[in-house]
Amino acid sequence: MAVDIDEYYRQFAPMVYRRCKALLSDDDEALDAMQEVFVKLLQIEGEVHSPSSLLYVIATRHCLNRIRSHSRRPEDASSQLLYDIAKIGDGGGRSQARFLLARLFGQNPESSRVIATLHYLDGLTLQEVADEVGLSVSGVRRRLRVLRKELKVLEVQS
C-alpha cells in the first residue's frame, strides 16, 4: 500500500510545522524543514502504521540534524536547542551549555540526541520515548544515564 502523501500532508502538516518551529525557532526554516520531512516520507517504502508518530520522529531527527549542521558553521549558530535540552542554569550561561552539549552529542549516536530531546524537552515518558525510537524502556534509561554521566564528566573538565 503506497503512502498517500496528499492526505498525510493535509492531516499532519500543522503538527510537523509546530514541531519544526519549536526546535528551530524560525518560521522560514521550520517551513523548509517541514517540506523536507514530507519528502523523506515519500522515500519510505511499505505501509506506514502510525503516520503521526513517524512524522514526529522524522521531524525531530531532521531538525536536530539541521541544528548540528548549523553549529558547524558559527555564523548560523542561532539555535538554542542544546541549551534548552541541558537546562543549565548556572553562571556559565548559554555558551558553556552549547559547548558542553556539542561535545556530548558529538561523541554519542544521533539516536541519543533524539532520546534526550523527546524526554527532556518534549516531556515524553520513558515508555513513550521507547515506543518512538524502537528501543526498550531500559535501553532508553541506559542511554539517558550515559548522557548524564558523560555530561558531568565534561562539566568537571570545563
Q: What is the maximal distance between C-alpha atoms in the chain?
A: 54
- Nearest of 4, 105, 7, 99 to residue 61 by alpha carbon: 105
pLDDT at residue 13, rounded to an integer: 94
Residues in the chain: 158
The full set of domain ranges for the chain reads 1-78, 80-158
Range 80-158 classified under CATH 1.10.10.10: yes
For residue 83, give every residue at least 6 positions away whose Cβ sits within 8 Å of its Cβ, in sequence order, or none: 94, 97, 98, 101
pTM of structure: 0.51
Measured CA to CA in angstroms, residue 135 lies from 51, 60, 146 at distances of 18, 17, 15
Per-position pLDDT tens, the chain of length 158:
456 788 899 999 999 999 999 998 888 889 999 999 998 888 887 777 888 999 999 999 999 888 877 665 443 332 344 444 444 444 455 566 667 667 777 777 888 888 888 888 887 888 888 888 899 989 998 988 888 888 777 777 76
CATH architecture observed for domain 1-78: Orthogonal Bundle (1.10)
Handedness of CA 6, 39, 17, 140 (dihedral sign): positive
